Structure formats: C-alpha cells, structure tokens
A and B are shown apart, each in its own frame.
Chain A
Amino acid sequence: MSSFLRLGTLILWLTILSWWILAGRNPGWTKTSVSTMETDPVTGINYPVWKKQFVPGLDLLAVGTGCAVVLFGVSFLPFLSRNTKNQQL
C-alpha cells in the first residue's frame, strides 16, 4: 500500500513539474488568459489582444510539490506499513 502511494506521489509530482516546464516555466502566478501585442498599421499604436489560456505558474507548482510531500509523508505512517506487511504475509 505504502509503495503504491509513494509511486503515485512521484507520478503526481513529475506530472505537475512536466506540465509547468512544458507550458513555458512561467515564473509568476498561474495565468488564465494571455495577451499578445499587435500593431495598428495606420496609427502605429501597439495594442493588446487577450485570449483565454491556462498557463501554470509557480503557485501551482508549489501546491503540487506540497501535496506530494504530504502524501510521501503519509506513506510512512505505521498503519499503511502494517497493511503492506499483512498483504505480504
């Protein structure tokens, strides 16, 4: 039981870490929309164009890491280890 929990914790943490890296390693807060700047050809004004897009930030990575640490700690609780020993018997 504890081994499954540790494996699950590792998979959870790696998934969140990979997601954060693949989404561009955003060093700020999680974004729910992003803007790109475009230029009006007549006036030369640069203006933002917003679109809905989820970009995980450091806050999400921190929460994911925190959860992983807690779950990893839980996997060492005695009753989980006992269950594992009982299953092995």
Chain B
Amino acid sequence: MKNTIILLAAASALAATATAQEIAFDLKDPKGVNNIVFKLDAPLESINGTANGISGTIEIDPAQPEEIEGKIVVEAKSLTVSNSLMQEHMLGADWLDAANHPEITFEVKEVLNPVKNGNEGTADVKGLFTLKGVSKEITAPAKVTYLPGRLADRTNGKMQGDLLVIRTNFQIKRGDFGIKAGENLDKVSDTIDISLSIAGSAPKS
C-alpha cells in the first residue's frame, strides 16, 4: 500500500513536471518575418505569391516534441501576388472569397515519425487544413528548431524568452477545397505548392 502511494505521488510529480515544461509560442511575429510562399505552375501561367498575416499558437514540450499542439492562422487578405488585378481576382468571391472566409487555418492533430536531434527535430504533422470554409485532413513534413533564450537577440534585449522555428513544404489541390474545381486548369494549376516558414516566441517574465 505504501509503495503504491509513493508510486502514485511520483507519477503525479512527473506529470506535473511534464505539463510545466510545455511552452506556448505565439506565432504573431512582431518583426513580420513569418511567411508563406505559394506557387501554382499551370501549362500557360505560373503564379507565385506570399502571405504574411500569420497568427496562432503552438504549444510544445521541447523534450517531447511529438506532443506538439496548436493552430496556425493565416489572414486570407494578406495573400499577395505581383499583379494588383490578379490579386483582386484571387481574393474575390469566385476564388478565395476572402470577405466571407477571412482565415486559412491549420490545426495540429497528430505528430508522426518524430526524429529529434538536439534542439532540432523533424516529423510528419497531421492536421486539419481549412481553406474557403472547407476542412481537409493533410499531413505535412515539418522541421522544428527550438532556440532557447534567443528571443532577446530579436528584441535587442527588451524581452527574454525562447524561439521556435517551424518550416514545412506541402501541396494541396484547390479543387479539394471547392475553389473552381476542374476550371481554368490551363492558367491556374490545381496543385498549389506551399512553403511555410514561421517563428514563434515565448517570452519569460
């Protein structure tokens, strides 16, 4: 009986420690470097653009990166291409309908095949990708770098804390999200290549 109580107490203490080590990283980067690059390569036309209206939170225990959870939110209006008329069409009701669907999100559900190497790690992140109001489960290979104590370097010493850098490349098909499925394929590719590079900060008081 005594041993059981000791074991339970130890397990509770370990669980409490594990919870305490989980760090929440805010993805709204004050320096504005967080970005998404997207590319559509159709037979007649290649479209490249970026987005930088990124927010959300990632919670991760650097010792157990497979326990990652959180949500990445991209403001649809922040999607930018090099031609203003093309951008107007892209954000319009026929395509992304940014007025009625102002957010593009990715919610982390599960981490598969995690490989940890020091403060870096790779994994396949399974999550729910929502675009134009349609949600699909996708899996994206991600590289995560934990930079303990490096927040001060980005804020000229004004804030102490940690940084988390996440990079991923994946593809989606616009047709899967109800964006003119099967239409204009010669000019606007169905496949969209997406590269995500984001840094989250976790200030320490």
Contacts and interface: CB of A to CB of B under 8 A. Distances in A.
Contacts of A31: 82-83
B165 A43 contact: yes
A42 interface: yes
Nearest to A41: B153
26 contacts: A28-B46, A29-B82, A29-B83, A30-B83, A31-B83, A32-B82, A32-B84, A33-B84, A35-B80, A35-B82, A42-B150, A42-B153, A42-B154, A43-B145, A43-B147, A43-B163, A43-B165, A44-B165, A45-B34, A45-B167, A45-B197, A45-B199, A46-B197, A47-B34, A47-B197, A50-B80
Given A28-B45, A32-B84, A33-B82, A40 B35 contact: no
A63 B180 CA distance: 28
Contacts of A34: 82
B82 A45 contact: no
Contacts, number: 59
B33 interface: yes
Interface string A21-38: 000000011111111000
A73 interface: no
Contact of A45 (B35, B85, B150, B153): B35
Nearest to A52: B84
B50 interface: yes
Given A29-B83, A31-B83, A32-B82, A42 B45 contact: no
A48 interface: yes
Contacts of B150: 42
